[in-house]
Amino acid sequence: MDLTQINYERIDEVAWITLNRPNKLNAFTQVMMDEWRRLLTSLTNDKTCRVIVTKGEGRAWSAGVDLSIFQETKIEPGYKMYEDGLEIMRLHENCPQVTIAMLNGFCFTGAMEIMMSFDLIISANEAIIGDTHAKWGIRPTWGMTQRLQHQVGLRKAKELSFTAQSISGIEASKIGLVNSSYPLKDLKNAVDDLIKNIINNSGPAIGSIKKLYQFGSENTLKEGIEYESKFKMNIKDKMEDLKNFKNKI
């Protein structure tokens, strides 16, 4: 696959995706979004891939959509870049792999919207995260107002959006926007440790549990409980795991 604005590396069962426009703080372009979508689509069908990690090159995870694009068009339904963004988030939320955002730096607006679609978010303390739609007079279109209130609560979400003020990785961890934060120098080791803890467990079980969580996030509690009670998991490695129970505790 030809990639010009994204770097891709595969190490054993882990796919490493790097947003790679460091001179533009990894701001999204149509080329980047198309490459990202195609790569995720391919990985979704790769049964040998267990974890997908996405990070940014240089000082940013991503500054969001390249503002120069707004001089030419609006990122709205029907526009390919808009549709690619939605598909990237759908793939994050529904692929069988565990998706991890490794937040190494700046993360603004559209990038924050996409960040919230990952299963897990591990941030550098030094990362700067913000919803700046109101600052630039841009309407959210990738789910900011819906995901943010579910992840940090309605009033905190309104505060972040209305003020357009940014928060650090440390503050993001305190309000539950990210799972945890570490000094930037320790970020990679923290993500590596998390990956090891994930890969020690059953991949099919994690994929099935992820489906249950995703259903619950989109439906009522009553519907989610009923769905879980009827859900059938085809986990071929279950018996082997049970045989090795003593070695896993």
Q: Note down the domain range covering 219.
A: 203-248
Is 13 in the same domain as 98?
Answer: yes
Is 29 in the same domain as 66?
Answer: yes
Let me know if residue 1 belongs to a domain: no
What mean pLDDT, rounded, does the chain reach? 91
Question: Helix, strand, or coil here: 10?
Answer: strand
Closest residue by Cα to residue 240 from 203, 207, 190: 203
CA geometry: angle 124, 190, 112, nearest 5 deg? 40
Q: What domain count does the chain have?
A: 2
Instruction: State the pLDDT at residue 79.
Output: 76
Is 162 in the same domain as 230?
Answer: no
pTM of the predicted protein model? 0.91
Mean pLDDT, to the nearest integer, of 109-122?
A: 97
Mean pLDDT, to the nearest integer, of 83-100?
A: 97
Is 42 in the same domain as 98?
Answer: yes
Is 41 in the same domain as 149?
Answer: yes
Instruction: State the pLDDT at residue 247.
Output: 54
134-170: pLDDT as tens digits: 998 888 999 999 999 999 999 999 999 999 999 999 9
Model confidence at 190: pLDDT above 80? yes
- Are 39 and 3 within 8 A, CB to CB? yes
Is 105 in the same domain as 211?
Answer: no
Mean pLDDT, to the nearest integer, of 46-53?
A: 96
Instruction: State the pLDDT at residue 243.
Output: 43
Let me know if residue 132 belongs to a domain: yes
Instruction: State the pLDDT at residue 234.
Output: 74
Let me know if residue 30 belongs to a domain: yes
Mean pLDDT, to the nearest integer, of 41-46?
A: 95
Q: Which two tokens stand for residue 58?
A: 């240089």
- Dihedral pair phi/psi, residue 122, rounded to 5°: -115, 125
Is 21 in the same domain as 73?
Answer: yes
Is 60 in the same domain as 77?
Answer: yes
C-alpha–C-alpha distance, residues 92 and 113, integer Å: 12
Is 68 in the same domain as 17?
Answer: yes
Is 225 in the same domain as 142?
Answer: no
Instruction: Tell how far CA 139 is from the center of its chain.
Output: 21
Q: Counting Cβ atoms within 10 Å, is residue 202 exposed (0-12), middle (13-18) or buried (19+)?
A: middle
